[in-house]
Amino acid sequence: MSKSLSEKRTAKLRELILASVFCALIIVMTVVPYLGYISYGAIEITTLHIVTILAAVCLGPKYGSVVGLVWGLSCIVRAYVAFPVFLQSGFGNFFVAGLPRLLVGLFAGLVFYGLKKTKLPTAVSAGAAAVVGTLTNTVFVLSAMNLWLKFNDKGYSSFFDVFNTIFKTLITVNGLIELVAAVIIVPTVYAAIEKNNKKTSV
């Protein structure tokens, strides 16, 4: 019984350490140019959704939400410190920049662990979580931004216009790159982490 309790404590400690690593990655990749945000011209591609989805897939929706929250808070700080122009679109607001990123980790984790109970291959479950997490980021950020603009009298689009904006964002270069990168990287890295966990637990 003591061995079982010790194993549980070890597993929890391992989860806490891995969650801390993911959170640290979010912060470092936000600060270091061309890691978390890759900009060229007016287009900006983020890679931080991949880190958040990986955390959700490896550790579950709870830790996925925590890492997503760290991403959201770092995004708010980034808007105030480095890119004040983003404040005009609401990226200094938790509702626009924070909550959607928290939901990325939550939804990706729920989808992965829900599909994991089925007979689907793990890679398929991880890929589905990557798709859901990426779409959650795009859909919720743009929707929250639109609502923020409405309540601040800075312009408001109809539901159709919002849907059209989301659709166009998804099919643009940056939208497609973010989606494809997540679908490829998340299952690959998750498989490597799981393989390492099995080796260390033997």
Q: How far is CA 82 from the centre of its chain?
A: 21
- Rounded alpha-carbon distances, angstroms, from residue 202 to 57, 195, 197: 22, 11, 9
| Residue-level pLDDT at 182 | 97
Residue showing tokens 């480095």: 82
Domains of the chain and CATH, by start: 2-201 (1.10.1760.20)
Question: At a CB cut-off of 8 Å and minimum separation 6, what does 186 contact?
Answer: 50, 53, 54, 57, 126, 127, 129, 130
Measured CA to CA, the distance from residue 199 to residue 194 in angstroms comes to 9
Q: How deeply is 156 buried, as exposed, middle or buried, from its count of CB atoms within 10 A (0-12, 13-18, 19+)?
A: middle
Contact present, 86 and 30 (Cβ < 8 Å): no
Phi, psi of 47 (to 5 degrees): -115, 0
| Residue-level pLDDT at 56 | 98
pLDDT in tens, the chain (202 residues): 455 777 788 889 989 999 999 999 999 999 998 999 988 766 788 999 999 999 999 999 999 999 999 999 999 999 999 888 888 888 999 999 999 999 999 999 999 999 999 989 999 999 999 999 999 999 899 888 888 887 887 655 565 676 777 777 776 778 889 999 999 999 999 999 888 877 665 5
The token duo for 40 is: 């060229």
CB count within 10 Å of CB 82 equals 13
The token duo for 187 is: 């299952």
H or E, element range at 161: helix 159-171
| Residue-level pLDDT at 1 | 45
Q: Amino acid identity of 13?
A: L
The token duo for 122 is: 């793990």
